[in-house]
Chains A and B, each alone.
Chain A
Amino acid sequence: MTDSVLHVSRDQLTETVAGLRDEGYVSVLDVTAVDYLEHPGRTDLPDKVAPERFELVVTLISHTAPGRTRLRVQVPDDDPTVPTLFDLYPGTEALEREVADMFGIVFEGHPDPSRILMPPDWEGHPLRKDFSVGQIPVQFKATR
């Protein structure tokens, strides 16, 4: 069973989700994002969609005709904002906070835009590709 994928623009996001909700998509399962900074030559976008650095991925599920739909929204680097889906599906609250924390994407109208996973005074957004993994070299030494 493959999920259907829709490419929508930022302005149409709320509208599309509202439409899907009326069609019987009962829940938003997942909101996440991908940073395409290091994968410029991607080819999986349809012609009319211009690739941007970030992509917001919203997964919805319908129970009446069991199936999932994935919305892929391009979000530019210089203006990383998207409208919140909180009013349509309150369950996106924590998921959107996570995306905001990890990618620095701002959800306009989100009721609680604070960080969720990292400490409040943390700098940077860890899942961005230009944030390093933060590995420290391992030193092996005798223990005693």
Chain B
Amino acid sequence: MNSIATDEAVRRRDDSAVLRIAEDDGERLEAEAGTSDTSMVMNMGPQHPSTHGVLRLMLEMEGETVMRSKPVIGYLHTGMEKTAETLTYLQGPTNVTRMDYASPLFSELAFSMATEALLGLEVPPRATWIRMLMCELNRISSHLLFQATNGMDIGAVSMMIYGWREREEALRLLETITGLRMNHNFIRPGGVAADLPDGWRDEVLTLIDALPARLNEFDTLLTGQPIYRERLQGVGVINTAECLALGVTGPILRSTGYAWDLRRDMPYLAYDQVDFDVVVGTYGDCFDRYAIRLNEIRESIRILAQILHQMPSGDYRVQDKKVTPPPRARIDESMEALIHHFKIFTEGFKVPAGEVYAAVESPRGELGCYMVSDGSAVPYRMHIRGPSFVNLQTLPHMMQGGMVADAVAIISSVDPIMGEVDR
């Protein structure tokens, strides 16, 4: 396979991995298909059980072998970046949380961090640690979702049942804390929406006590299973140079043996105060990506155990009248508090003009939020750099020369969440 990082000319050639035909260019499609007796352009998706929602692929095939391919996206384009320009900074997390619906708390976190950077706010320690707690729980549920869907795509349907069973545990905990199973809108500029409920320690402990045994079951079921390994090992190989050139982050980059994790290398929140390992792979194939995600669950459990010990007391949001609504109890007694509450939720708060980029390590890679403020109460421009969006570009390179049956395994191992690809 040619290394896209070094050879600039190869990427533009017609036999590079990417099929560059516009999806409505019927003439060109026919012409391409007619060039050889054996090759044809095939369509996969957008309604296909293993394309994780609404991804569409155009595959140029030679018999059963995939030559060039092109992911066609946009079927879930929701105009969220446009909508964000009409929502105040307090309403913003409601919007961004619906982007990456498998790990919604990370988009909220990136959005909040960007807003806080513009405001120059310092978040209280307890809020920081609650955010970390929530994010790691969310990472677990997201990776469990991957295990379920990956198993299903490969044909290990029982894995789907197990993955959902475990995920349900994590979701129940998230529901206890935030009130919702998904799309929590829990992390907001200035802190989090509510303090942790009574008994959260026991709940988290129950979860992290039970999960390792379940993960070992996954190991028994999948990791050592010859059929499963056969389907994943050596499939969809990509190397470090290609990943970096394509801007890929997260488990795909780490699967090539390159240890890059924002939590360790550019720490945010309080990740510099907890101890964890960055899991890396060796070969950069589908199996490595599976194993990395499985072991990242274990690392997250380690982090959770430390958070349980180190959780500080104090406020769960900043006590800054400008961004924080008054406590609920005060609203019943004081007219001023009521007005204050009303103003914050209708007009929002003004944010100083400027532009900023804040990024977090989501389960899929670097999730960044670029925000421009013009000094009013709504963002002038809000852009989310979605890791899946960029990571999807690896598909043609991973699939080239492989069998069409492997395409499913490869898409699944990229773990794209289309909501965040299309936004």
Contacts and interface: CB of A to CB of B under 8 A. Distances in A.
Interface stretch (B151-159, B215-223, B382-390): B382-390
A57 B370 contact: yes
Contact of B374 (A3, A42, A134): A42
A49 interface: no
A98 B423 CA distance: 11
Contacts of B18: 93, 111-112
Interface string B354-378: 1101010000001010101010000
Q: Is the interface of A mostly helix, strand, loop or mixed?
A: loop
Contacts of A43: 353
A108 to B, nearest CB: 14
A39 B73 contact: no
Contacts, number: 121
A117 interface: yes
B201 interface: no
Contacts of A91: 245-248, 390, 393
A112 B79 contact: no
A9 interface: no
Given A1-B266, A34-B372, A70-B357, A94 B389 contact: yes
B265 A66 contact: yes
Interface string A125-141: 01100010110000000
Given A32-B370, A68-B357, A91-B248, A63 B260 contact: yes
A127 B23 contact: no
B181 interface: no
Contacts of B73: 116-117
B230 interface: no
A61 B11 CA distance: 22
B55 interface: no
A42 B357 contact: no
Interface stretch (B80-88, B160-168, B289-297, B341-349): B80-88
Contacts of B23: 114, 120
A55 to B, nearest CB: 9
B9 to A, nearest CB: 9
B381 interface: yes
Interface in B66-96: 73-74, 77, 79, 81-83, 85-86
Contact of B12 (A70, A94, A98, A111): A111
Contacts of A119: 74
A70 B359 CA distance: 13
A118 interface: yes
B383 A32 contact: yes
A17 to B, nearest CB: 13
Contacts of B374: 38-39, 42
B247 A92 contact: yes
B93 to A, nearest CB: 19
A102 B422 CA distance: 12
Contact of A29 (B4, B24, B385, B423): B385
A81 interface: no
Interface in B127-169: none
Contact of A59 (B20, B266, B370, B392): B370
12 contacts: A28-B247, A29-B249, A30-B383, A59-B370, A87-B8, A90-B4, A90-B393, A91-B248, A95-B389, A116-B73, A117-B77, A118-B74
Interface of A: 1, 3, 26-30, 32, 34-35, 38-39, 42-44, 57, 59, 61, 63, 66-68, 70, 86-87, 89-95, 98, 102, 111-112, 114-121, 126-127, 131, 133-134
